[in-house]
Amino acid sequence: MEKRRVVVTGLGTVNPLAHDVANTWDAIKSGKSGIASITAFDTEDYASKVAGEVKNFDPTVWMEKKEARKLARFTQFALAGSAQAMEDSGLDKGGADPERMGVILGNGIGGYEVTEEGIRQLALKGPRGVAPMTIPKMIINEGPANVAIKYGLLGPCYAVVTACASATDAIGSAFHAIRYGQIDVAVTGGMEAAITPFGIAGFIKLTALSTQYNDTPEKASRPFDKDRDGFIMGEGTGILILEELTHALDRGAKIYGEVAGYGMSCDAYHLTSPDVEGNGPARSMKWALQDAGMEPSEIDYFNAHGTSTPTNDPLETMAIKKAFGDHAYKMPISSTKSMTAHMVGGAGGMESIISLLALRDGFIPPTINLDNPDERCDLDYVPHVGRKADLRAVMSDSLGFGGHNGSLVFKKFEE
């Protein structure tokens, strides 16, 4: 089967650092943290009190007020990011057959705040207290469905749910749908909005969140550092427009880079703990390289999952070594979650955007707060300050609860 080339022609984001791509990238390059004390609810009884909240978010910048009221926060994020990406690509003004355009978005949890309010009203007033739009607002597929409705996109439209790997797997699915001719254009990426009383409480009970840095939130996400104690919940969206190369060239589209390969695997090991040997993530990385037809030595930068949990970081390091061999010690690696927090279902979209901008500008983002490296994490994690470099190809990976692993390879576009 013919493999068509796939490029990225539009980007959009709302995240803890900024509400657009340009300001987000400036913050990333500067090593700025978007993590602060939680303001969405009272955290007095919570062991973890910090998060990467999207600050001062006004959905009416991107949609009508009446429309926004019918949408959960995660869907509002998806529409905001999609509006930016569609405008960035020029496709908001047409230029593609709607029947050849799809929407494939990743999400981990759905409309938690809607679910919580529905249950609250059920307890207070019984069934009559539950709002009519509760189900349409809370379910995960409403994210991609609302994007498709807004732009009249008639091709495949679905949600990918693989926990923290959701957005990466959505992008990989969109990439293959275009590569093998099902569609020509895809709105893809992911979104999440789980900074709610129930969401934070649930992750605290798993002992997954940081609890030691409540007084210094900007220091709380510290991937690969010996003093890390858990991840920091984030929220937001990262949206990409993927397009078949000839389709993009024919309309004179701006091209950020080419999607070269995608790999996915399952640990088949444990619901919340990764494979202790790192074999699952290593397979995903190897298969992404194989899909791209590339050697490990051709990857010039690796955007790690890097959650800042005691378990993830050394196991991800082990997996990188297994997949890349000796090149693992020569390849710069960073975790931008040190700045954005962990956007869960949106993380892979955000990190794909960062990877593409790193490729475009020849700049490797830093891992901030890496003050005291864990001895088991002995690779080049670009601590504190980013660096200029000639980048030809980058890999971004995501690892999720349930043992889901996804890896994407992006490379500089060359005709």
State the catalytic residues. 164, 305, 342
Instruction: Give every CB contact of residue 167 below 8 A, 6+ residues apart in sequence.
Output: 105, 106, 160, 189, 190, 191, 238, 345, 346, 347, 348, 349, 350, 352, 398
Quick check: 355 and 301 in contact, CB under 8 A?
yes
What's the CA gap between 104 and 127, in Å, rounded? 34
CA distances (Å), 25 to each of 35, 270, 351, in order? 16, 35, 11
DSSP 233: B
What's the CA gap between 96 and 79, in Å, rounded? 19
For the chain, counts of helices (H) and of strands (E): 13, 14
Handedness of CA 47, 119, 191, 408 (dihedral sign): positive
CA distances (Å), 135 to each of 45, 228, 361, 363, in order? 29, 38, 43, 43
**Residue 186 is which amino acid?**
A
Exposed / middle / buried, residue 392 (Cβ in 10 Å: 0-12, 13-18, 19+): middle
Quick check: 398 and 409 in contact, CB under 8 A?
no
**Residue 294 is which amino acid?**
M
Instruction: Give every CB contact of residue 336 below 8 A, 6+ residues apart in sequence.
Output: 28, 303, 306, 350, 351, 354, 365, 367
DSSP 366: P
What is the DSSP pairing of strand 363-364 with strand 387-388?
A: antiparallel
